[in-house]
């Protein structure tokens, strides 16, 4: 069976982390390795990792790796996790979100049937207690729709060789580093990106979630980064970027 790596970045979310880890342990697909990336000055989370997670048995996951980041940057934490990943495919789960049991099995089935390099899925919104509140519509893939709006979430299943071919996430792009990577992949492999049309994870919404904090960048700064990412992609595709680029960013 093909090994899948799951990267779980966490920072000051120890109250949610165990639930997120249980979601990974409950996957129907095996084998899986779990890479938890915490932050050095987050003592409460690191204490929980040391006390709770060494007891994870090999019947649940094949390998547990814990990495400590020197700073609270989710993009940097993802990169550290990717450097540790041994799986042929990698995916991610935020420490306040929950991976549904069939996520990896369903996405891997599609990836292997279609020789995919990237598989993305819909998801459920939920409140702080994981009570479902909705499910956004996610379109089928095309480069033309993706360049206008990033609807491919951070939790997608990606062939690890894509990060060898295109490099790790560009940390200077902050929240838009993931969008930038998806565009690089989409430019070269548009026929190997697929939508798995069953929701695969629960996106927990609460006041302290990392995504909301990342969105606190000044609107002007976010727009400039967005324009930079989209313009660069269009130029690589041989198009002239329009003078007015509409700003849209995924909410998850």
| Model pLDDT, residue 52 | 80
pTM across the whole model = 0.91
- Look over the chain and give the mean of its residue pLDDT values, rounded to a whole number: 89
Q: What element of type H or E holds 211?
A: helix 210-214
How much is the average pLDDT of 197-203?
96
| Model pLDDT, residue 252 | 46
| Model pLDDT, residue 118 | 98
Residue 23 banded pLDDT, cuts 50, 70, 90: very high
Peptide bond into 31 cis (omega under 30): yes
End-to-end CA distance of the chain: 30
In which residue are the tokens 């789960």 written? 93
Q: pLDDT tens digits for 55-75?
A: 665 567 888 999 999 999 999
Q: Which is higher by pLDDT, 212 or 18? A: 18
**Which residues have a Cβ under 8 Å from the Cβ of 194 and sit 6 or more positions away?**
110, 111, 114, 116, 118, 119, 120, 141
| Model pLDDT, residue 251 | 46
**Could you tell me which of 89, 178, 185 has the C-alpha nearest to residue 143?**
185
Rounded Cα distance, 91 and 109, in Å: 14
Helix axes 177-188, 219-236, angle to 10 degrees: 10
How much is the average pLDDT of 147-172?
96
CATH architecture entry for 4-236: Alpha-Beta Complex (3.90)
Structure tokens at 52: 């709770």
| Model pLDDT, residue 137 | 92
**Could you tell me which of 143, 54, 145, 44 has the C-alpha nearest to residue 95?**
44
Kindly report the backbone phi and psi dihedral angles of residue 241, in degrees, each rounded to the nearest multiple of 5, phi listed first: -65, 140
How much is the average pLDDT of 186-204?
97
Domain extent listing, the chain = 4-236
């Amino acid at each position: 069976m093909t090994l899948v790596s799951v990267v779980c970045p966490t920072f000051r979310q120890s109250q949610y982390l165990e639930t997120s880890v249980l979601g990974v342990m409950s996957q129907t697909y095996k084998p899986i390795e779990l890479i938890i990336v915490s932050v050095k000055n987050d003592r409460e989370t690191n204490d929980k990792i040391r006390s709770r997670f060494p007891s994870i048995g090999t019947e649940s996951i094949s390998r547990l790796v814990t990495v400590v980041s020197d700073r609270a940057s989710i993009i940097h934490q993802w990169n550290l996790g990717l450097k540790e990943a041994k799986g042929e495919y990698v995916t991610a789960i935020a420490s306040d979100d929950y991976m549904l049991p069939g996520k990896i099995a369903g996405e891997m089935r599609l990836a292997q049937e279609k020789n995919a390099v990237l598989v993305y899925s819909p998801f459920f919104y939920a409140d702080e207690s994981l009570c479902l509140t909705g499910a956004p519509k996610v379109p089928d893939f095309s480069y033309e729709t993706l360049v206008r709006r990033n609807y491919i979430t951070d939790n997608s299943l990606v062939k690890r060789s894509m990060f060898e071919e295109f490099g790790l996430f560009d940390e200077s792009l902050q929240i838009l580093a993931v969008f930038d990577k998806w565009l690089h992949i989409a430019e070269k492999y548009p026929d190997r990106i697929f939508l798995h049309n069953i929701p695969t994870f629960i996106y927990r919404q609460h006041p302290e979630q990392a995504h909301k904090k990342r969105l606190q960048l000044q609107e002007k700064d976010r727009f400039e980064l967005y324009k930079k990412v989209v313009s660069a992609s269009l130029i690589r595709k041989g198009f002239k970027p329009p003078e007015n680029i509409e700003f849209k960013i995924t909410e998850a």
